[in-house]
């Protein structure tokens, strides 16, 4: 298998996620697109980890970093959805275009 197969898959998923963040206006869908982005980065980390593991079997940094990213993604979704719930409770809408209180 080529390393680039996995890297291209990660890049395509990343771009789809970026499209989702920019094109969606529902806050939950924006969070889902962010999950896509984080997963594409994780594919890259694990692919690079596997690549270095072949040359240096004691090196597992790629996987360890992927696990850290998974933990941080879980924290991000928890706090993000709590914020979305709070916005919904205060404004009865989770349209990200309506949340412009800090716009100058």
Partner 1 sequence: MLALLVAQNIAFYIIAALMVFGAIRVVTCKNLMHAALWLVLVLAGVAAQYILLAAEFVAITQVLVYLGAIIVLFLFGIMLTRTKTGTDDNLDNSAGARRMAALIGVLLAGVMGYSLWDGFGKREFGDLLVQRTAQVSDSIFSTYLLPFEVISILLLAALIGAIVLARRD
Binders of partner 1 in range 16-75 (CB under 8 A): 16-20, 22-29, 31-33, 35-36, 39, 42-43, 46-47, 49-51, 53-54, 57-58, 60-61, 63-64, 66-68, 70-75
Q: Does 99 bind partner 1 (CB under 8 A)?
A: no
How many other β-carbons are positioned within 10 Å of the β-carbon of residue 56?
9
37 is written with which tokens?
Answer: 């982005």
- Residue 84 as a binder of partner 1 (CB under 8 A): the answer is yes
CB 14 within 8 Å of CB 41: yes
Contact 36, 22 (CB under 8 A): no
Number of residues counted as binding partner 1 (CB under 8 A): 73
Task: Identify which of 62, 61, 103, 87 has the alpha carbon closest to the alpha carbon of residue 95.
Answer: 87
Using CB under 8 A as the binding rule, whether residue 86 contacts partner 1 is answered as yes
- Interaction of residue 91 with partner 1, rule CB under 8 A: no
């Amino acid at each position: 298998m080529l390393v680039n197969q996995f890297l291209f898959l990660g890049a395509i998923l990343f771009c789809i996620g970026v499209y989702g963040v920019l094109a969606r206006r529902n806050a939950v869908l924006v969070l889902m697109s962010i999950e896509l982005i984080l997963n594409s980065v994780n594919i890259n980390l694990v692919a690079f980890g596997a690549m270095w593991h072949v040359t240096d079997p004691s090196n597992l940094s790629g996987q360890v970093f992927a696990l850290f990213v998974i933990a941080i993604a879980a924290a991000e979704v928890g706090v993000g959805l709590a914020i979305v719930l709070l916005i919904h409770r205060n404004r009865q809408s989770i349209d990200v275009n309506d949340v412009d209180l800090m716009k100058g």
